[in-house]
Amino acid sequence: MSDDAALYTQLATIRRFEETVLDAFPKGAFYGTTHTYIGQEANAAGVLAHLHDGDLVFSNHRCHGHFLAYGGDARALFAELMGKATGVCGGIGGSQHLHWKNFYSNGVLGSTAPIAVGAALAEKRKGSQAVTVLFLGDGAMGEGVVYESLNIASLWGAPVLFVVENNHIAQTTPTELAMAGSLAGRFAAFNIPAVELDSSDAREIYAAAGQEFAQLRSTPGPRALILHTARFGPHSKGDDTRDPAFIEELRATRDPLTIHGARLEESERTAIEAEVDSAIAAAYAQAEADPLPEHAAYVKAGY
Amino acid sequence: MSDDAALYTQLATIRRFEETVLDAFPKGAFYGTTHTYIGQEANAAGVLAHLHDGDLVFSNHRCHGHFLAYGGDARALFAELMGKATGVCGGIGGSQHLHWKNFYSNGVLGSTAPIAVGAALAEKRKGSQAVTVLFLGDGAMGEGVVYESLNIASLWGAPVLFVVENNHIAQTTPTELAMAGSLAGRFAAFNIPAVELDSSDAREIYAAAGQEFAQLRSTPGPRALILHTARFGPHSKGDDTRDPAFIEELRATRDPLTIHGARLEESERTAIEAEVDSAIAAAYAQAEADPLPEHAAYVKAGY
Amino acid sequence: MTSVLESLNQGLHAAFAQDARVYLIGEDLLDPYGGAFKVSRNLSTQYPDRVWTSPVSEAAIAGVGAGMALRGLRPVVELMFGDFSTLVADQLINSITKFPAMYNGAAQVPVVIRTPMGGRRGYGPTHSQTLEKLYLGVPGLRVLAPNTLSDPGDLLRRAILEQNDPVLFVENKVLYPKQVLDNAALADFEIQASTQDFAPTHTLRLKGAPRPALTLTAYGYMAELAREALTRLAFEHEIFCELVVPTQLAPLPAGGGLQPALQASLQHSGRLLTIEEGTYSLGWGAEQLARAAQHFGGRLQAARRVAAAEAPIPAARNLEDAALPTLEDIISAAREMV
Amino acid sequence: MTSVLESLNQGLHAAFAQDARVYLIGEDLLDPYGGAFKVSRNLSTQYPDRVWTSPVSEAAIAGVGAGMALRGLRPVVELMFGDFSTLVADQLINSITKFPAMYNGAAQVPVVIRTPMGGRRGYGPTHSQTLEKLYLGVPGLRVLAPNTLSDPGDLLRRAILEQNDPVLFVENKVLYPKQVLDNAALADFEIQASTQDFAPTHTLRLKGAPRPALTLTAYGYMAELAREALTRLAFEHEIFCELVVPTQLAPLPAGGGLQPALQASLQHSGRLLTIEEGTYSLGWGAEQLARAAQHFGGRLQAARRVAAAEAPIPAARNLEDAALPTLEDIISAAREMV
Ligand SMILES: Cc1ncc(C[n+]2csc(CCOP(=O)(O)OP(=O)(O)O)c2C)c(N)n1
Ligand SMILES: Cc1ncc(C[n+]2csc(CCOP(=O)(O)OP(=O)(O)O)c2C)c(N)n1
Ligand SMILES: [Mg+2]
Ligand SMILES: [Mg+2]
């Protein structure tokens, strides 16, 4: 498969997965909460295509796209959202709390920052050559521990790529109401080189990320990639307070699938889509049929 | 009294107070811990000379100089350090935890930042015209909550002057080991205008602070004043790990009393010093004679 | 009828209307969203300059609230999930609650920190906890938890306006849609109400039931389950209980005493079962049992707790159900005690 | 003889020597300073690349330690004062202790967070607290507190090397200069030792004393005062006690049981006095009393706690003495119990 086809497969897989989640949620297939990645697929696909074996990824509440682009299994992720024994974390974590191989996510905004830095430093000390990617949203940049972590990463030369996905909104709060100054300035303050890109084009993001990874692997110390992006869907489910016309416009102008899909032959593109559709449908069906977890470990402690 | 004489009186008062503390501590006059301001007197004196009635000051562990320059009473401060009923906080707070009028200090580094911002916003909402000064050390800039506070102060236009006293050391840690990037960059990141000054000259600091206060009172929104300075004494007591020769050099080149004292006639200077000496000695003697606090409120809760 | 959510929202509106010193700070507060759980709905529309939607900076908004309170305002800080109260622990413990006493009585910090707690919504390990137990032993903090037996909004309003302590106001998420109960809904019960400061405590027993053999105590949403348990224990097992439901969780009486209503109930039952949604050890129930043991010594014949498993709260529904205390847990614990 | 401080320092050195995965992170660690309380002395000289002096960023260093532990190292994080543990509450509660269970057993976080706690040094309200009670009920956390009855350094070394739980290691400041006791120093006592995992619990009574009428339990520095109280109660008041001193404060036995040594002692005394330096409500003692009440029911004839006043710890010496539990407090509480 060509690089472009592979990239498109990633984008389509994430999109199809998330659409399935949003479709199935109201039907009661899932329990709890979820945050879908629709509109931002090019970030995960473009960035994580550069991972080597052994590299680490720390992700946040909006982690499905990161997880799938990391190579995570769609069935295991569906199963996790359904609270099944076959889920990524056996149903314990749910949508926001995933761990598989070297992929970790947590639902407390910003809390992963020092942990990612520590993990990166550990890999460096162990001489593993692994680098660490940390995904943060614009909203998470409100958390103080992120700045403590930038400082330490910079001082101690942690091989971390901070990827800020600025979708211009945090839950319902536009970035202008929550962020003084600039994202780039936040990294400059700690002497962390930052590259900024406003794009939904997976190839562009892939290229920019490639340069960052190359630097990261050759010279010690953290770097940042600020990706201005667009969230098409609700924050969670049905909680989008933005003007529908604005979202239509985003979908029309910034769809990573449209943008990158245009590079493929129509026939190749539809073939990929068909394959992805059936893979995701199969994953969903398998997860649905999977068993519930045993709850012996979760007996009450009150005696 | 001329402005210069008044300024020198402040410097000498703080110096004499702190020398008395360091002298008397080993004799058992005080209990607990202390952090003296020797070498940094020009900061408190130069900055706080601009306070209007009703302005607020939030200070840190190294608060004696700030307190005295704010107008706090030396006897009450000695008494506080001695654990006497007449102390600033009746002996409960001790050296680091002072509150009198609109002056507040706390011993948890950085923790005062959001509180100062909130207090400043409250004054603004109440229409009191009061501005708020927050003193932070270079070390405190390690705390995440400071950055959360800078962001909010900037977003919400809090009338706060952030005064960073960079004495190039935090306890025993040189700033280079603890701070990536630059202090100015930390404020720029949040769109807070910052002025930087490397001086131990009270007049220079007074002038720079004057401009900041003027701006602060005329235009809404936070500002920062970064004062590069020198700590002559130990962090607390007898815990200075720096080369004595280096400290000698600091004392020789950066003594605020020498620098500013040179502007006064010898006779005026010595008159001020004599007056300060006797005032501090009297304050100390009074505090020593003061009664211990009643401890009825602090009975044990174990029944 | 009014739901707990509506009542809380009305309480906030009443506080805003009554006193111009009231402000609200938190994440995603602006209408039409009105806060993640909608408790703050319509406030930003009606009081645009007193509702400040904030960055995702829990520690700072708690501190900003503290600074405002210190300077004479009456701020309310909304933490989107109680799980994130850990981020304000330092502000709460080392500043907010310290200032009044540490500054020798010369400062007050009347800030109310409101937050939803609790599970049963499948939100997973970091969005489902009942963490107030961490703060119940913090000197200088008042902790309040509304329930359906009295007016949650009024409790909130009075916490904001009528006293000067810092307050942690804990709202169980599952309680939000529940109705505040009127006399008709409680017709089966004989109810005694008392107050600690302005915070009510209710003691319930079934009308005409014999002298209770067991005292149940619970707060917040667990009081719902406890009430149901009380009825079922009577009708299905002929075990007659009394249920004590406080809204003030802290401070407890100085000197290690029991809350008077609880003491009164134990006086005749001599058996105490505490019911809470937080994890087991070092929880609210532990303190109640300890005080009961202190006060009654050998006259406390049986003591027991129902609480959550000592583990993260899982996302999967069947695991979450297994981790959190249920009606059946209460009933079986009670049955083993008498 | 060896002081507790020396022992802890030796324990760290032993761990560093034994395992290259051991790292130390904290503020002001570099020699000649070696940490504010000198527990880390000489480590930076001997292991310059494994001792990382940090910015004043408690939350981040805890998180960095967690990340290192997650990736196979054995980090130790020093918090300069336990009062600042509030700043790591989120890392500790929502990440460090959550990961192992939340990731379904696929992750381990063997980080040891060491910190001095306690007062009696006049450091004032924000540098004198005994805050471990906040963390004793956090699922997944092991909390250890050394004392003079066994080797503090060995406890620390084993906490670092021999197990995979996250650990909070609580060192009372006043304990640092105390000598670790040898047999001669304890010659008056009959001592039974047991262990929970690798953490020892000691049960002491005076040699030749009659059957104990009262069980005292205490940990850390308070065990010193409790031992003295035990002696004085015997000689001055003819009240014979048994003293149970655990080093593992959490987790307690699953299912609400008592630690075996405490249960054994209560079996014959039927009276429990807990002694702690933390503030009274929701403390370590509450949990011990609750478990005792659960287990013994009406056979627990008397229960009581000695603890700190529910207020900030004042700086003034006479106020601090009044706020913190003293020998006299223990003696008078014990006298009222028998
Ligand atoms: C510490 C913390 N505070 C609040 C929340 C609730 N919350 C979940 S997602 C979110 C907005 C996040 O915005 P951003 O970081 O920009 O990511 P996005 O959702 O836009 O991808 C908020 C406030 C949280 N999960 N953690
Ligand atoms: C949150 C917190 N962490 C650690 C400390 C211990 N401590 C007290 S002063 C100090 C160094 C402060 O350095 P800086 O802010 O530069 O102020 P300076 O002492 O140089 O005036 C430290 C680490 C503290 N008081 N608070
Ligand atoms: Mg966003
Ligand atoms: Mg400094």
Percentage of chain A lying above the pLDDT 90 cut: 95
Please judge whether A32 and C315 are an interchain contact, meaning their C-beta atoms are less than 8 angstroms apart. Answer: yes
Q: Are B74 and B280 in contact (CB under 8 A)?
A: yes
- Return the pLDDT at A238: 86
- Return the pLDDT at B303: 43
- Return the pLDDT at D112: 99
Residue D311's CB: how many other CB atoms inside 10 A? 23
Compute the nearest-CA separation of A207 from chain D (Å): 29
Q: Pull the structure tokens for residue D13.
A: 């050195």
Please judge whether D323 and B87 are an interchain contact, meaning their C-beta atoms are less than 8 angstroms apart. Answer: no
My answer on whether C65 and C135 are in the same domain is yes
My answer on whether D226 and D111 are in the same domain is no
Q: pLDDT (tens digit, 9 = 90+) per residue, D18-66? A: 999 999 999 999 999 999 999 999 999 999 999 999 999 999 999 999 9
Would you say residue A300 has pLDDT above 90?
no
How close is the Cα of A169 to the center of ligand 3, in Å? 4
For residue B94, which amino acid is it?
G
Restricting to C residues 194-233, those with a Cβ less than 8 Å away from any Cβ of D are none
- Return the pLDDT at B297: 62
Would you say residue B20 has pLDDT above 80?
yes
My answer on whether D9 and D56 are in the same domain is yes
Would you say residue B295 has pLDDT above 80?
no
The CATH number linked to D201 is 3.40.50.920
- Return the pLDDT at B301: 52
- Return the pLDDT at B238: 86
Q: What is the CATH number of domain A3-292?
A: 3.40.50.970
Measured N-to-C along each axis, helices A3-24 and A41-48 cross at an angle, to the nearest 10 degrees, of 140
Which residue's CA lies nearest to atom 21 of ligand 2?
B137
Task: For a ligand 1 pocket test, name from C56, C78, C81, C127 the mutation site with the most ligand atoms within 8 angstroms of its C-beta.
Answer: C56
My answer on whether D230 and D170 are in the same domain is no
SS (H, E, C) chain D: CCEHHHHHHHHHHHHHHHCCCEEEEECCCCCCCCCCCCCCCCHHHHCCCCEEECCCCHHHHHHHHHHHHHCCCEEEEECCCHHHHHHHHHHHHHHHCCHHHHCCCCCCCCCEEEEEECCCCCCCCCCCCCCHHHCCCCCCCEEECCCCCCCHHHHHHHHHHCCCCCEEEEEEHHHCCCECCCCCCCCCEEEEEEEECCEEEEEEEECCCCCCCEEEEECCCHHHHHHHHHHHHHHHHCCCEEEEEECEEECCCHHHCCCHHHHHHHHHHCEEEEEEEEECCCCHHHHHHHHHHHHHHHHCCEEEEEEECCCCCCCCHHHHHHHCCCHHHHHHHHHHHC
Q: pLDDT (tens digit, 9 = 90+) per residue, A63-108? A: 999 999 999 999 999 999 999 999 999 999 999 999 999 999 999 9
Q: Is D134 on the interface with C (CB under 8 A)?
A: yes
Q: pLDDT (tens digit, 9 = 90+) per residue, C129-152? A: 999 999 999 999 999 999 999 999
My answer on whether C97 and C238 are in the same domain is no
Please judge whether D33 and B109 are an interchain contact, meaning their C-beta atoms are less than 8 angstroms apart. Answer: no
Query: Any idea which residue has 């501005």 for tokens?
Result: B131
Would you say residue A303 has pLDDT above 60?
no
Please judge whether C103 and B115 are an interchain contact, meaning their C-beta atoms are less than 8 angstroms apart. Answer: no
- Return the pLDDT at D70: 98
My answer on whether D150 and D22 are in the same domain is yes
Q: pLDDT (tens digit, 9 = 90+) per residue, A129-166? A: 999 999 999 999 999 999 999 999 999 999 999 999 99
The mean pLDDT of B129-150, rounded to a whole number, is 98
Question: Number of B:D CB contacts under 8 A?
Answer: 150
Is residue D181 situated within a structural domain? no
My answer on whether D214 and D162 are in the same domain is no
Q: Label residue B9 by pLDDT band (50, 70, 90).
A: very high
The reply to whether ligand 1 has any atom less than 6 angstroms from the CB of A137 is yes
Would you say residue D106 has pLDDT above 50?
yes
My answer on whether D285 and D156 are in the same domain is no
Is residue C259 situated within a structural domain? yes
Is residue C309 situated within a structural domain? yes
My answer on whether D158 and D217 are in the same domain is no
Nearest to A141 by CA among A199, A202, A186, A173: A186
Measured N-to-C along each axis, helices A202-218 and A41-48 cross at an angle, to the nearest 10 degrees, of 40
My answer on whether D147 and D232 are in the same domain is no
How close is the Cα of D332 to the center of ligand 3, in Å? 60
Is residue D304 situated within a structural domain? yes
Q: Label residue B302 by pLDDT band (50, 70, 90).
A: very low
Residue spans of beta strands (DSSP E) within chain C:
22-26, 51-53, 74-78, 112-117, 142-144, 167-172, 189-196, 199-206, 214-218, 241-246, 248-250, 271-279, 302-308
Counting ligands in written order, the one closest to the CA of A172 is 1
Q: Is B94 on the interface with D (CB under 8 A)?
A: yes
Structural domain containing residue C259: 189-337
The CATH number linked to D67 is 3.40.50.970
Q: pLDDT (tens digit, 9 = 90+) per residue, B164-207? A: 999 999 999 999 999 999 999 999 999 999 999 999 999 999 99
Q: Identify the residues whose C-beta falls under 6 Å from ligand 2.
A: B 35, 61-62, 107-109, 137-140, 167, 169-171, 231, 235; D 27, 56, 58, 80, 84
Domain end position, chosen among C132, C152, C175:
C175
Q: pLDDT (tens digit, 9 = 90+) per residue, A244-289? A: 999 999 999 999 999 999 999 999 999 999 999 999 999 999 999 9
**Which region, left, alpha or beta, applies to residue A268 given φ > 0 means left and ψ of -120 to 50 means alpha?**
alpha
Which residue's CA lies nearest to atom 6 of ligand 1?
C80
- Return the pLDDT at A302: 46
My answer on whether D167 and D312 are in the same domain is no
- Return the pLDDT at B1: 78
Residue of B145, B146, B151 lying closest to A179 (CB–CB):
B151
Q: Which chains touch B (3 or more CB pairs under 8 A)?
A: A, C, D
Mean pLDDT of chain B: 96
Contacts of C55 in chain A (CB under 8 A): 139, 142, 170, 173, 178-179
How does DSSP assign C119-177, residue by residue?
Answer: -SS---TTSS---GGGTTTSTT-EEE---TTS-HHHHHHHHHHS--S-EEEEEEGGGTT
The reply to whether ligand 1 has any atom less than 6 angstroms from the CB of C287 is no
Contacts of A170 in chain B (CB under 8 A): none
- Return the pLDDT at D111: 98
Q: How far apart are CA B270 and CA A285, in angstroms?
A: 91
Mean pLDDT of chain A: 96
Percentage of chain D lying above the pLDDT 70 cut: 100
The reply to whether ligand 1 has any atom less than 6 angstroms from the CB of A62 is yes
- Return the pLDDT at A296: 67
Q: Is B93 on the interface with D (CB under 8 A)?
A: yes
Q: Domain-by-domain residue ranges, chain B?
A: 3-292
Q: Give pLDDT < 70 ranges for chain C.
A: none
Number of domains in chain C: 2
Contacts of B182 in chain A (CB under 8 A): 189, 191
Please judge whether D136 and C287 are an interchain contact, meaning their C-beta atoms are less than 8 angstroms apart. Answer: no
My answer on whether D252 and D223 are in the same domain is yes
Q: How far apart are CA D246 and CA C19, in angstroms?
A: 52
Please judge whether C70 and B115 are an interchain contact, meaning their C-beta atoms are less than 8 angstroms apart. Answer: yes
Is residue D184 situated within a structural domain? no
How close is the Cα of A24 to the center of ligand 3, in Å? 24
Q: Is B240 on the interface with D (CB under 8 A)?
A: no
C-alpha angle with apex D196: D190 to D199, nearest 5 degrees?
75
Is residue C181 situated within a structural domain? no
More confident residue, B298 or B125: B125
Q: Are C117 and C131 in contact (CB under 8 A)?
A: yes
- Return the pLDDT at B243: 95
- Return the pLDDT at A169: 98
The mean pLDDT of B261-283, rounded to a whole number, is 98
Tell me which chain B residue has its CA closest to the CA of residue C62. Answer: B114
Q: What are phi and psi of A274, to 5 degrees?
A: -65, -40
Counting ligands in written order, the one closest to the CA of B171 is 2
Is residue C39 situated within a structural domain? yes
Please judge whether C316 and A91 are an interchain contact, meaning their C-beta atoms are less than 8 angstroms apart. Answer: yes
Is residue C18 situated within a structural domain? yes
Atom of ligand 2 nearest to the CA of B40: 21
Q: Label residue A299 by pLDDT band (50, 70, 90).
A: low
Domain end position, chosen among D115, D144, D175:
D175
Q: Is D119 on the interface with C (CB under 8 A)?
A: no
How does DSSP assign B1-18, residue by residue?
Answer: --HHHHHHHHHHHHHHHH
